[in-house]
Structures are given as C-alpha cells and as structure tokens.
Amino acid sequence: MNEVTKFPEMDAVFAEFAKIVGAENILRAGEPEAERLRDEHLPGYETEREPLPSGAVLPETTEQVQAIMRVATEHKVPLWTISMGRNYGYGGPSPAKHGCVTLDLRRMNKILEINEELAYAVVEPGVTPEALWAEIEKRGLALHMDSQSAPWGSLLGNAVDRGVGYSFMADRANAICGMEVVLPDGEILRTGTGALANSSTWHCYPAGFGPSVDGLFQQSNFGVVTRIGLWLIPRPDAFRHAEVYISDLSERAAFIDTLVGLRLAGIIDNGVSGGVNFGGHIEGAQGPGGGMFPPPPGVMPGMRARIGFRGTADVVSAKWQATDAAFSKLKSYSSNSHQYEAPYDYSDWTSEACLAAGIPTDRELKDWTGAHFLTFASILLPATGEAYEEMVRVVAPIFQRYGMPFAGSGFHMHSPRAIMCLIAAPLKGFPLLPPPMAAMVDNDASEQLIRDVIAEAAKHGWLEYRTGTQYMDMVRGLLDFNDNALPRLHDRLKAMFDPAGILSPGKSGIWPK
Ligand code: ADP
C-alpha cells in the first residue's frame, strides 16, 4: 500500500476515536486486518477507482456511536456505516468515497430480546442469522426465523439495506418492527410506538403515531441504526419444501405465472427463489451466476424454483396438492418435495429445505465462494411471465454484444407482486466458467455491460431494487419523475439530517453538498 493510502493526516482523529472505543478497537489502513474493510469483489478492486477506507472504528455501545458521530462532525471526517459488511455484490464493506472511516458495528452483537409468544427478536447490528438461530435452539424456543445468503452476515444490515431472504419472512425490510437510530448530531431516536418511552408495542406494531420515518433509514445515510425489532414466526407443526422444475423453456412464462398465482392466493407461503437450471446440481447454479454460464454439453437449460409451506400437517399437505395440481398443467414439469413434521431433527433436513424454511445454513458457502466474483444488475419486474420473457429479449442482445451467453436470470419473489432478477456478469476470479471463457473475463467490460443493462432496463420501466456502490450514482440519476423530485427531496433531507455531511457519503447516490 502506498503512502497516500496510509492517510497519516488522520492521526489526531483516530486518537480521539481511540479514547472512545480503546486503541484495540481501531484499525488503520495498511494494517493487515484492515484488508477486510475492502471489497475484493468490486470490478475496480486494486485499481485507481477503488475507494479505500482510511481505517475503522469499532464501537460496542450506542453511547460510543453517539460520541463517534460528534467527533466526526467536529472534524468533518466521513464515516461509512457497516454492520458485518457482507452485502456481497453491493460493495461489501467498501465505502463509496476514498478516505472514509469505516464505522464497523460488528462488536455490537447483543440479542436484546427474543419474544417467543409474539414471535419477534430485538437485535443489534453485529447479530448474525447463525447467532440468533443458535440462541433460539439453546433456549429451546418454538420459533423459526429467516436467514440470508451469507448466514455470517448481519440480520440488521441486510434488513436495513432491504435485502432478501428465502423463507416466510423473506421481505426483510418489512419484517423490521421498531428501530433505534443515532442521528448524525448524536441524538438517539426510536421509531414507531417506541416514541412513547415506556411503549409495550414497539416491536409488535410497525407504524406509530403520525408520519412513519422507518424508511428514511433504509438504503440511507441519514442515521446509524443501532437496534431493530425483527419479526420471526412460531415454529410450524409441519413444513414442506419443494423444488419445482420445467425442462422446456418454452413453458417459462407459464411456470412463472403459476408460481405468482399460487403465491398471491396464499398457497405458496415463502419468498420464492429460482432461476435457470441445467439439470443435476451445478455449483453456483442457484447463486447470482445462475443462468450466466453455458450448460454442460448435451444439457438443455430448464427452470427451477424453491418453495415452502407451513401450517398443520393436513394444511401443508393440502397446499402442496393444490400446488402440484397447478404445475401439472405444464407438460415438462417435475418436482422434488419432502414434508417435515414436528418434532424436527434439523440435521436430517436438506440444505435446500433449510433455505426455504429460513434455518441458517452454510450450504451456499460452497456455491458462493468465488461466485461473488460477479457484478450484477438487480432489476424489479412486475411478477408476470410476460415481463420475464420481455426481460430476456431485452437483455440477451446486450450480453451478445459483449460476446457472452445469456440463458435467463436468477430471481427472487420476496414480495409477491414483483420479480427481482439478478443479471450477472463475471469478474476475474469467477471459478464457474470453462477455462477459455474465464481467460477472456475483463472487469471493465463486465461493469460496462451491467451499466448497459441498468440503463436499458430503466427504459422499460424496470428499476434496481438495490445496487452496488459503483452504480449508485447512476441509478439515482435514473429517478427522473417530475424533474428528479425524489432525489431532490433526498438531498434536502440529507442537508437537514446531516449538515456536516459526515455519514456514508454517496450511499444510494446521496452526497453531501
Ligand atoms: P450484511 O453483513 O448483512 O451483508 P452490511 O453490514 O454489509 O450487511 O450492511 C449492508 C448495507 O446496509 C451497508 O453497506 C450500509 O449501507 C447499510 N447498513 C448496515 N448497517 C447499518 C446500520 N447499522 N445503520 C444504517 N445503515 C446500515
């Protein structure tokens, strides 16, 4: 690392941070451990374009976060908030601006409450799905939860960034109920009914009295969220996991319409995930690269989806029968399904069943290691087969221009009326390509390809649901209704919440003046 990236001018500020959190909870650029503050999955990693943090400060309490905000405001030092920093593909721990101090909240890892009766937990930023599940199991609580692709990431970070899960609480932002936030001036705020100091419904009823502000702190740089209530579900008497497939892509639109109809009717219960399938298990096929690489010789691509049902045993059986009957109208349909009934022995569950039920599993570890060397667009379509087909027609020629195949994308339906499609291009190091294609990978070309997809998608009315740090300015620039009224409001709110402009500059394309 060169002299510039050591940021020696920050010595006095880091000395003040050390007084707050202790010298052992400071990281400086150039120290070996500070490497984890960078994102090796950025297309611009190790180029001039990579925004390097000047170091990190790791508070353990909300009071320490307040004190850090005050020091940062006084010295006009930009902070970049992360919880665990595992939002792979969206920038990981990396800031959008060179020189930020990473506000790394991993030491705030307390599970503050688990309410078994009303099925919710209250967690700090450093609590991972694995840790919450371990606690539920240790206490023998009759609860299920929702996990995410990286069970060693942050539950809170994923939820406030409006990430997705795969189970019954897959719509993560809408599973948040009640937040505690530290504002850039150091003030603490409680949202929802938590505004009443002795509220007994803070984590039971999301709206409070008057305008609701929770959304202002999601995909946002207006505050630092220090705790959230997160809804769980009572452990169901029965759970069924099914993988549904079609082998003939000409039935793809009908396949999607069937999934959506069953989900809207309340028959399929979970946030469905799926994508192009090449038959048999191919590592990475369910990850963001699904559909990106060519099928093995002789294998025709099809499509698959992972679905789940909960309830009593007979309710779950009936939901599955209705689902199977609806899909049976498709000629190339097949399925693989298993019903589990309490008491559960989770060690018997397949990893796919765990994903559909929200039980943290590192099953995606083997698929996702290296599979993060991708850059992607994450576009929202209306949940119709017709829209998906149009997406393939629009995106395939863009891939062709870059000499790459496109067989369709992976998708998530965490929200039942929209399909979020992950359209991925490879970065150097992506292991799932045949060697001749791997040798041709060019990070700059892949980034440009994804920019072309994002721009073309917007022309069709398809917006990103979330995006990587390198694309945030671009996506914000697309929000053109009424002369960019929404981004202009974001700017006004930024100036109000954070007049010193210290918090996560560039997050969601929102920059201080
Ligand atoms: P995960 O480890 O679950 O992937 P991250 O810690 O990477 O989650 O968080 C994802 C993004 O969410 C971060 O880049 C940041 O923009 C935002 N974020 C994370 N934690 C907070 C927080 N405590 N307050 C506000 N925003 C946050």
Min mean pLDDT across 136-150, 221-235, 342-356, 366-380 is at 366-380
Q: What is the pLDDT of residues 67-94, one digit of tens each?
A: 999 999 999 999 999 999 998 889 999 9
Q: Is the peptide bond before 343 cis (omega within 30 degrees of 0)?
A: yes
Residue 295 pLDDT exceeds 90:
no
- The two structure tokens encoding residue 386: 């017709």
Three-state DSSP at 143 gives: strand
Distance 469 CA to ligand 1 centre (A): 12
Is the separation of the CB atoms in 501 and 92 below 8 Å? no
227: enclosing H helix or E strand: strand 224-231
pTM: 0.95
SS3 content of the chain, % helix, strand, coil (to 5): 35, 20, 45
Q: Mutation test of ligand 1: which of 64, 83, 123, 154 has the most ligand atoms closer than 8 Å to its C-beta?
A: 83
Residues 6+ apart with CB under 8 A from 192: 177, 178, 179, 199, 202, 205, 206, 207, 208, 212, 214
Which residue's CA is the nearest one to ligand 1's atom 10?
Answer: 157
Query: 260 vs 87, which has greater pLDDT?
Result: 260
Q: Which of 36, 58, 87 to mutate to test the pocket of ligand 1 (most atoms within 8 A of CB)?
A: 87
Angle, helices 252-264/385-401, rounded to nearest 10 degrees? 130
In ligand 1, which atom is closest to the CA atom of 507? Answer: 16
CA 461 to centroid of ligand 1, rounded, Å: 27
What are the phi and psi torsion angles at 267 (to 5°)? -90, -50
Atom of ligand 1 nearest to the CA of 88: 4
Tokens of 331: 């000629």
pLDDT of 284 reads 41
Out of 222-226, 240-244, 399-403, 432-436, least confident range: 432-436
Could you tell me where the beta strands, DSSP code E, fall in 258-394?
272-277, 302-311, 333-341, 374-382
Distance 95 CA to ligand 1 centre (A): 11
Residue 215 CA to ligand 1 center (angstroms) comes to: 14
**Rounded to the nearest whole angstrom, what is the distance from the C-alpha of residue 243 to the centroid of ligand 1?**
31
On the CB side of 16, CA atoms within 13 Å amount to 15
So what's the pLDDT on residue 372?
79
The binding-site residues of ligand 1, defined as CB within 6 angstroms of any ligand atom, are 81-87, 91, 105, 125, 153-154, 156-158, 160-161, 224-225, 504, 507
Torsion over CA: 342, 345, 348, 351 (sign): positive
Gyration radius (Cα) of the chain, Å? 23
Mutation probe of ligand 1 site: the residue of 97, 109, 154 with most atoms within 8 A of C-beta:
154
Distance 85 CA to ligand 1 centre (A): 6
Residue 327 is inside which H or E element, if any? helix 313-327
- The answer to whether residues 505 and 460 touch, using CB atoms and an 8 Å cutoff, is no
Q: Could you give the strand order of the β-sheet that contains 55-57, starting from the edge strand earlier in sequence? A: 26-28, 55-57, 101-104, 79-82
Higher-pLDDT residue of 247 and 162 is 162
CA of 58 to the centre of ligand 1 (A): 14
CA distances from 427 to 44, 45, 313, 405, 435 (A): 10, 10, 46, 15, 14
Please state the atom number of ligand 1 nearest to the C-alpha of residue 92.
7
pLDDT at 281: 42
Among the listed residues 418, 355, 362, 414, the one whose alpha carbon sits nearest the alpha carbon of residue 145: 355
Q: Has residue 290 got a pLDDT over 50?
A: no
Mean local confidence (pLDDT), 215-242: 98
CA geometry: angle 415, 394, 253, nearest 5 deg? 50
What's the average model confidence in pLDDT over 162-166? 94
% of the chain residues with pLDDT over 90 = 82
Dihedral of CA atoms 350, 317, 116, 272 in degrees, nearest 10, equals 60
Calpha distance 156→84 (Å, rounded): 9
Ligand 1: atom nearest CA of 469 is 14
Nearest-atom index, ligand 1, CA of 226: 23
CA 29, CA 100: separation in Å to the nearest integer? Answer: 11
* Cα angle 394-399-401, degrees, rounded to a multiple of 5: 105
Predicted pLDDT at 1? 45
Q: What is the pLDDT of residues 265-274, one digit of tens each?
A: 999 999 999 9
Ligand 1 center from residue 219 Cα (angstroms): 8
> Read out DSSP for 116-131?
TTTTEEEE-TT--HHH
Residues near 411 by Cβ (< 8 Å), separated by ≥ 6? 273, 274, 275, 388, 419, 420, 421, 422
Q: What is the pLDDT of residues 401-430, one digit of tens each?
A: 998 888 788 999 999 999 999 999 989 988
Q: Ligand 1: which of 161, 180, 224 to mutate, most ligand atoms within 8 Å of CB?
A: 161
Q: Looking at the predicted structure, is the pLDDT value of residue 288 above 80?
A: no
Q: Residues 141-163: what's their mean pLDDT?
A: 94
Mean pLDDT of the chain: 92
In order of 41, 245, 260, 303, 333, the CA distances from 326 in angstroms are 41, 13, 11, 16, 10
Given pLDDT bands bounded at 50, 70 and 90, which one contains residue 283?
very low
Region 236-248: mean pLDDT is: 95
CA–centroid distance, residue 392 to ligand 1 (Å):
31
Residue nearest to atom 8 of ligand 1 (CA): 157
- Output the six-digit token pair for 482: 């009424």
CA 385/CA 364 separation, integer angstroms: 27
